[in-house]
């Protein structure tokens, strides 16, 4: 195989508590924005995040040319078109989006529809099919600590007509800047914190093992894993201090950088399948899927698991684990850790309780098989393997 | 505040990296290409090879071959920019060492500003319209190793060095291809290893270095690992690896929010007309010793696993920093010794009077952003290395 890699992530990553106040307007000015469209959803409207963002744009003396908050869960093609038209009519020159991954990925899609002068998003579907368009500055503000959408070059948008997801990968999707500020997630529920953090972990871990990993993305991933190790439990304990949440958000962004450079594997294809059929958030599925796919991939990733064990375990436990056991301990630990944390959260549902059953395993497997993420999975995966993983989830077996 | 970090460059490394250039140009919608090379790259045949690959696609190329001086001068930059403008180019490729690289960055800035008046502050607001691709062949004098970052050093009409910084002069691509890298003597490779490792460690130690910048430190250390720990490695065989490590280290080094060490080294190098690496090598050991206690626990532990010494993990917490940095100090000192580099600033011609004004200048430059400890650090560093 040729010895070649590339690493690209031009996003200006601005992190810190209250960085919305200190940096948002300044960054918009630096990018020459005069008339901004603000994208968000009802959740952020009800919980105050949208207000914080609007206030700070206004305070900087920048015009808000439109606000759109009806972005549905997982986005969709129609909404992307509607927002793009709204931007054109109101002559907005830039985008600010605050929300979860549905909002951020919708914003990214709106951006390329505009910069590519397209009518519909599906014209642009695919991998690197888009050339550099005109400039449309975009700033993203996540309100979760998982997907890493705020720093990635990937958008997954629902196509309601075909009950499918459209995936677009192109560097044109990168935002100019991302502001990582825990005041925007201070009231996120504990189950969401846990699932998001495991989503970020999965992004980091898959990026280390996947076929396109490189020295830079790998270090991004290690850093993310370590931060999650050191902050997740503290963040779940809660309290007024949001410093641990801030760290988790930063970890999610680092993991996002890693995965957008190295791409993902079958953890994500299976989670996408589950998310479509059960209509749950992709992060909801990760905690239960991740350790089982890692177990399946072990023969091609043993060495990497061993290395990553150092970043996920307390150091002394890593040192006392014999070398030949490290890979196995890695995925077993992830499984046990997730289950243990989940038990600590009241009323947190399992995938089975979300509707996973023997009746929909085939359908989920079908969707998962179609997903492009399998191509970069370190080990070839087929329908039998996916079915076994789903059955094990149902039966509570690793 | 956990910091702000941005690395705009796409880093493309390895076999046939050059062959991907056309795709990048196509993606940027550009057809008129400006290639700026130094004469060294012409004589090694590197520029011929690049030309062949580019001409394969449907583009118009304008060439500028620069007989570069020791430093990048404004005159050369203005000249190159004139040709760029007259030929209506849209994309800059720079093939060569650090001097021509600085000139190419200045040309990019001029093109973005639409003016050759680049020593103002207006470069912060200009839009980034012109892509710049760097294809490094060499690192000559380290006076201003800027690969990968938005920083260029240009000598003005009065031969005074001026530092330009900003997003609008940062490269958009860095292409590291073995075939382009000029073969150098082993001692030059050694110097590069010292620079790559030293810069990476300094970035980890400076206060408030953003996490993403630290990532590049560790990536650089990973890339340089064989050169540090495997004595059998033939340095000559991996010039591209070392350049890659330098690019990564450099991104970390300049990404650390307030790099006091870099300021001190630059000040002395300029004042005494010395090579940056010479001053760097002379001071690195002392700085590592002084700043070791600033490393945070997590980074110490990560460096511990990096040096691959299981004994490290048996040490009590307070001894770990000294130990792990000690390992690096040992390796770097050994290389420096082999190179015959001086150990004190006095040998480099710095006098106690100089020290006084270096301290004043650097402190003036870094305050009020710098903390008390950082200021104390400057004093200790200079006084000790004298
Ligand atoms: Fe994910």
Domains of chain A, with CATH numbers? 12-184 (3.40.50.1970), 189-395 (1.20.1090.10)
ipTM of the complex: 0.93
Segment A322-343, tens digit of pLDDT: 999 999 999 999 999 999 999 9
Across the beta sheet with B91-96, what order do the strands follow? A4-7, B10-14, B173-176, B132-136, B91-96, B32-38, B60-66
State the nearest Cα–Cα gap between A2 and chain B, in angstroms: 6
Segment B182-201, tens digit of pLDDT: 888 888 888 888 999 999 99
| A92 vs B301: CA distance, rounded Å | 48
Mean pLDDT value across chain A: 93
Mean pLDDT of A5-33: 94
Residue B141 lies inside a defined structural domain of this protein = yes
Mean pLDDT of A284-307: 96
pTM equals: 0.95
pLDDT at residue B103, as a whole number: 94
Which of A198, A195, A177 shows the shortest CA–CA distance to A98?
Answer: A177
User: Do B231 and B376 have their domain in common?
Assistant: yes
CATH value at residue B176: 3.40.50.1970
User: Do B258 and B377 have their domain in common?
Assistant: yes
Residue B4 lies inside a defined structural domain of this protein = no
Residue B277 lies inside a defined structural domain of this protein = yes
CA of A159 from ligand 1 middle (Å) equals 19
User: Do B243 and B175 have their domain in common?
Assistant: no
- Cβ B302–A7 below 8 Å, yes or no? no
User: Do B77 and B53 have their domain in common?
Assistant: yes
CA of A268 from ligand 1 middle (Å) equals 6
Which of A104, A286, A300, A143 shows the shortest CA–CA distance to A203?
Answer: A286
For chains A and B, CB pairs below 8 A equal 110
Three-state DSSP state, A288: helix
User: Do B230 and B349 have their domain in common?
Assistant: yes
According to DSSP, the residues that pair with B13 across neighbouring strands are A5, B176
Q: What are phi and psi of A137, to 5 degrees?
A: -60, 145
Nearest CA in chain A to B23: A131
| B151 vs B161: CA distance, rounded Å | 13
Cα angle, residue A207 at apex, residues A127 and A124 outer, rounded to 5°? 15
Which of A259, A257, A233 shows the shortest CA–CA distance to A245?
Answer: A233
Q: State the virtual CA torsion across A203, A208, A211, A213 in degrees, nearest 10.
A: 100
Residue B334 lies inside a defined structural domain of this protein = yes
| A14 vs A21: CA distance, rounded Å | 12
Segment A183-239, tens digit of pLDDT: 999 888 999 999 999 999 999 999 999 888 999 999 999 999 999 999 999 999 977
| B1 vs A242: CA distance, rounded Å | 13
Residue B2 lies inside a defined structural domain of this protein = no
CA of A152 from ligand 1 middle (Å) equals 11
Residue B217 sits in which domain range? 186-385
pLDDT at residue B148, as a whole number: 73
Structure tokens at B6: 């941005």
User: Do B172 and B226 have their domain in common?
Assistant: no
pLDDT at residue B63, as a whole number: 87
Judge whether B11 and B216 are in contact, CB under 8 Å.
no
- Cβ B11–A220 below 8 Å, yes or no? no
pLDDT at residue B1, as a whole number: 40
pLDDT at residue A273, as a whole number: 93
According to DSSP, the residues that pair with B65 across neighbouring strands are B37
Nearest CA in chain A to B311: A319
Which of A25, A175, A99, A205 shows the shortest CA–CA distance to B6?
Answer: A175
pLDDT at residue A87, as a whole number: 96
pLDDT at residue B38, as a whole number: 92
User: Do B276 and B296 have their domain in common?
Assistant: yes
Judge whether A208 and A259 are in contact, CB under 8 Å.
no
User: Do B104 and B173 have their domain in common?
Assistant: yes
Residue B113 lies inside a defined structural domain of this protein = yes
CATH value at residue B304: 1.20.1090.10
User: Do B175 and B198 have their domain in common?
Assistant: no
Residue A395, class by beta-carbon neighbours within 10 Å (0-12 exposed, 13-18 middle, 19+ buried)? exposed
Judge whether A191 and A345 are in contact, CB under 8 Å.
yes
Residue B328 lies inside a defined structural domain of this protein = yes
Q: Under 8 Å CB-to-CB from B63, ≥6 apart: which residues?
A: B35, B37, B47, B51
Q: Which residues of B touch A226 (CB under 8 A)?
A: 298, 302
Q: Under 8 Å CB-to-CB from B253, ≥6 apart: which residues?
A: B199, B200, B202, B203, B259, B262
* Tens digits of pLDDT across chain B (386 residues): 468 898 999 999 998 899 999 999 998 989 999 999 999 999 999 999 998 888 777 788 898 898 878 889 999 999 999 999 999 999 999 999 888 999 999 999 999 988 898 887 555 666 788 999 999 998 765 555 577 788 888 999 998 888 888 888 889 999 999 999 988 888 888 888 899 999 999 999 987 889 999 999 999 999 999 888 877 777 667 788 888 998 999 889 888 877 888 889 988 988 888 888 889 999 999 999 999 988 999 999 999 999 988 789 999 988 999 999 999 999 999 988 888 887 788 988 899 889 889 988 888 877 777 778 778 888 888 888 88
Which DSSP state fits A372? G
Segment B108-122, tens digit of pLDDT: 999 998 889 888 755
Chain centroid to Cα A140, Å, comes to: 13
pLDDT at residue A2, as a whole number: 63
Question: B137, B158, B180 — which closes off a domain?
Answer: B180
* Radius of gyration of chain B, Cα coordinates, nearest whole angstrom: 21
Strand-pair category, B173-176 with B132-136: parallel
**A275: enclosing H helix or E strand:** helix A266-278
Residue B5 lies inside a defined structural domain of this protein = no
User: Do B116 and B210 have their domain in common?
Assistant: no
Chain centroid to Cα A129, Å, comes to: 22
User: Do B203 and B345 have their domain in common?
Assistant: yes
Which DSSP state fits B235? G
Question: B180, B209, B224 — which closes off a domain?
Answer: B180
User: Do B141 and B191 have their domain in common?
Assistant: no
Mutation target for B interface from A3, A5, A13, A116: give the one with most B CBs within 10 A.
A13
CA of A198 from ligand 1 middle (Å) equals 8
Q: How many CA atoms lie within 13 A of B100 on its CB side?
A: 27
- Cβ A319–B313 below 8 Å, yes or no? yes
Number of separate domains in chain B: 2
Mean pLDDT of A339-359: 95
More confident residue, A371 or A285: A285
- Report whether pLDDT(A241) > 80: no
pLDDT at residue A212, as a whole number: 87
Question: B180, B211, B236 — which closes off a domain?
Answer: B180
Q: Which residues of B touch A (CB under 8 A)?
A: 1-17, 20, 26-29, 124-125, 127, 210-212, 214-216, 218-219, 222-223, 248, 298, 301-302, 305, 310, 313
Q: Which residues of B touch A2 (CB under 8 A)?
A: 14-16
């Amino acid at each position: 195989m040729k010895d070649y890699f590339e690493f690209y992530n031009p996003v200006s990553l601005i992190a810190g508590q209250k960085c919305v106040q200190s940096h948002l307007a300044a960054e918009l000015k630096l990018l020459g924005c005069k008339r901004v469209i603000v994208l968000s959803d009802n959740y952020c409207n009800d919980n105050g995040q949208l207000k914080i963002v609007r206030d700070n744009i206004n305070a900087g003396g920048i015009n808000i040319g439109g606000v759109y908050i009806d972005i549905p869960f997982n986005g969709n093609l129609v909404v992307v078109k509607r927002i793009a038209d709204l931007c054109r009519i109101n002559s907005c020159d830039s985008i600010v989006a605050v929300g979860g991954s549905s909002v951020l990925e919708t914003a990214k899609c709106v951006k390329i529809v505009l910069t590519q002068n397209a009518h519909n998003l599906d014209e642009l579907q695919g991998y690197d099919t888009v050339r550099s368009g005109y400039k449309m500055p975009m700033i993203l503000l996540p309100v979760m600590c998982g997907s890493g959408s705020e720093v990635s070059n990937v958008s997954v948008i629902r196509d309601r007509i075909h009950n499918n997801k459209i995936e677009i990968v192109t560097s044109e999707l990168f935002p100019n800047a991302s502001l990582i500020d825990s005041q925007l997630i201070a009231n996120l529920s504990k189950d969401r914190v846990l699932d998001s953090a495991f989503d970020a972990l999965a992004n980091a871990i898959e990026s280390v093992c996947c076929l396109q990993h490189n020295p830079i993305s790998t270090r991004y991933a290690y850093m993310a894993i370590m931060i999650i190790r050191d902050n997740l439990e503290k963040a779940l304990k809660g309290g007024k201090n949001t410093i641990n949440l801030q760290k988790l958000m930063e970890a999610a962004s680092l993991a996002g950088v890693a995965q957008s450079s190295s791409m993902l594997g079958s953890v994500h294809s299976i989670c996408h399948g589950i998310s479509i059929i059960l209509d749950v958030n992709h992060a909801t599925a990760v905690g239960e899927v991740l350790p089982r796919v890692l177990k399946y991939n072990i023969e091609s990733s043993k060495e990497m698991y061993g290395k990553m064990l150092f970043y996920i375990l307390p150091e002394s436990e890593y040192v006392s684990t014999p070398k030949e056991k490290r890979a196995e301990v890695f995925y077993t630990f992830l499984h046990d850790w997730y289950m243990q944390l989940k038990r600590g959260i009241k009323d947190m549902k399992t995938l089975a309780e979300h509707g996973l059953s023997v009746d929909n395993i085939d359908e989920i497997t079908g969707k998962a098989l179609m997903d492009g993420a399998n191509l970069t999975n370190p080990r070839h995966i087929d329908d039998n393997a996916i079915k076994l993983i789903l059955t094990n989830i149902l039966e509570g077996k690793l | 505040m956990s910091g702000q970090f941005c690395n705009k460059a796409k880093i493309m490394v390895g076999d046939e990296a050059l062959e991907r250039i056309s795709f990048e140009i196509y993606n940027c919608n550009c057809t008129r290409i400006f290639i700026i090379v130094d004469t060294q790259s012409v004589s090694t045949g590197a520029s011929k090879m690049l030309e062949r690959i580019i001409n394969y696609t449907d583009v118009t190329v304008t060439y500028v071959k620069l007989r570069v001086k020791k430093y990048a001068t404004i005159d050369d930059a203005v000249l190159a920019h004139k040709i760029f403008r007259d030929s209506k180019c849209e994309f800059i490729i720079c093939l060569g060492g650090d001097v021509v690289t600085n000139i190419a960055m200045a040309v990019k800035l001029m093109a973005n500003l639409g003016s050759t008046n680049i020593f103002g502050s207006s470069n912060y607001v200009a839009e980034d319209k012109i892509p710049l691709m760097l294809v490094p062949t060499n690192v000559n004098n380290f006076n201003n190793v800027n690969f990968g970052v938005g920083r260029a050093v240009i000598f003005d009409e009065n031969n005074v060095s001026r530092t330009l910084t900003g997003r609008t002069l940062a490269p958009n691509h860095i292409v590291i291809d073995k075939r382009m890298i000029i073969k150098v003597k082993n001692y030059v490779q050694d110097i590069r290893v010292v620079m790559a490792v030293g810069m990476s460690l300094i970035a980890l130690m400076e206060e408030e270095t953003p996490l993403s910048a630290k990532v590049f430190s560790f990536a650089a250390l990973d890339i340089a690992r064989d050169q540090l720990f495997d004595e059998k490695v033939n340095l000559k065989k991996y010039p591209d690896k070392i350049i890659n490590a330098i690019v990564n280290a450099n991104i970390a080094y300049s990404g650390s929010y307030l790099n006091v060490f870099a300021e001190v080294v630059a000040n002395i190098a300029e004042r005494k007309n010395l090579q940056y690496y010479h001053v760097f090598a002379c001071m690195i050991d002392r700085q590592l010793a002084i700043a070791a206690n600033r490393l945070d626990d997590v980074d110490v532990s990560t460096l511990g696993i990096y040096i691959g010494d299981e004994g490290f993990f048996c040490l009590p917490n307070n001894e770990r920093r000294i130990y792990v940095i000690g390992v690096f100090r040992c390796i770097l000192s050994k290389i420096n010794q082999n190179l015959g580099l001086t150990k004190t600033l006095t040998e480099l011609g710095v006098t106690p009077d100089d020290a006084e004004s270096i301290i004043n200048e650097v402190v003036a430059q870094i305050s009020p952003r710098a903390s008390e400890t950082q200021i104390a650090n400057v004093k200790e560093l200079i006084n000790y290395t004298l």
